[in-house]
Amino acid sequence: MPDFVNPLKERLAAGDPVLGSWIWFTDPCSAEMMAQAGFDWLLIDLEHSHIGPASLRNIIMAVDRYECAPIVRTKVGDIDSIKVSLDAGAMGVIIPQINTPEEAQWAVTHTKYAPLGKRGIGAMRATSYGTRWDEYLSQANEQILTIVQIEDRQAVDNLPHILSTPGLDGIFVGAFDLSQSMGILPGQTDPRLDATIDQVIDAARSRDLIVGACVTWDNVDSLVSKGVTLPIIGADVEFMFETARACTKKWRKAREKVSVQAAGSHE
CA 69, CA 212: separation in Å to the nearest integer? 14
| DSSP states of the chain | ------HHHHHHHTT----EEEE--S-HHHHHHHHHTT-SEEEEESSSS---HHHHHHHHHHHTTSS-EEEEE--TT-HHHHHHHHHTT-SEEEE----SHHHHHHHHHTTS-TTT----S--TTTTTTTTTHHHHHHHHHHHSEEEEEE-SHHHHHTHHHHHT-TT--EEEE-HHHHHHHTT--TT---HHHHHHHHHHHHHHHHTT-EEEEE--TTTHHHHHHHT--EEEEEEHHHHHHHHHHHHHHHHHHHHHHHHHHHHHHT-
161 is a catalytic site residue: no
Which residues are the active-site residues? Answer: 48
